[in-house]
Amino acid sequence: MLVAACYLSYLAISIAITIWVARTLHRSGRVFLLDAFHGNASLADSVNQLLVVGFYLINVGYIALALKTEDPLKDFRGVIELESGKIGVVLLILGGMHFFNMFIFTRMRRRSTKELAV
């Protein structure tokens, strides 16, 4: 019974965090993408939506893969420790993906501003 409760709470927490981060990045990233694409709103919105889809696919895919455990869960402490480890990895992946995207778009923006200056 502890394993089922752990799985359900892990899924609920991880998916809720993923949805919240994706919505926040989608909403706040539009301005950044508009600047990176020189005001081309349709391109910025399209890239923004594609990033969200990829974000969901990677994160929900990892969440599903990480669901499996062979650890014996004998008490509530074991559930919390297992779940916190799994959620911690999800958070690290979300953060890593965010910083990778920021790195790529910053380089892209820097390159486009250099082209405009020339």
Reply yes or no on whether the pLDDT at 118 is more than 80.
no
Domains in the chain, number: 1
Nearest-angstrom CA–CA distance, 62 and 97:
13
The answer to whether residue 118 is domain-embedded is no
Q: Where are the alpha helices (H) located in 1-118, listed in sequence order?
A: 2-36, 41-65, 76-117
Tell me if 45 sits within 8 A of 30, measured CB to CB: yes
The answer to whether residue 98 is domain-embedded is yes
The answer to whether residue 117 is domain-embedded is no
Tell me if 66 sits within 8 A of 89, measured CB to CB: yes
pLDDT at 117: 65
Nearest-angstrom CA–CA distance, 79 and 73:
6
**Which of 1-5, 51-55, 106-110 is the most confident on average?**
51-55
The answer to whether residue 8 is domain-embedded is yes
The answer to whether residue 90 is domain-embedded is yes
Mean pLDDT, range 10-18, rounded to an integer: 91
Give the whole-number percent of the chain exceeding pLDDT 70: 95
Q: What range does the domain containing 44 cover? A: 2-112
Residue 92: HSE in the Cβ half-sphere, 13 Å Cα cutoff: 6
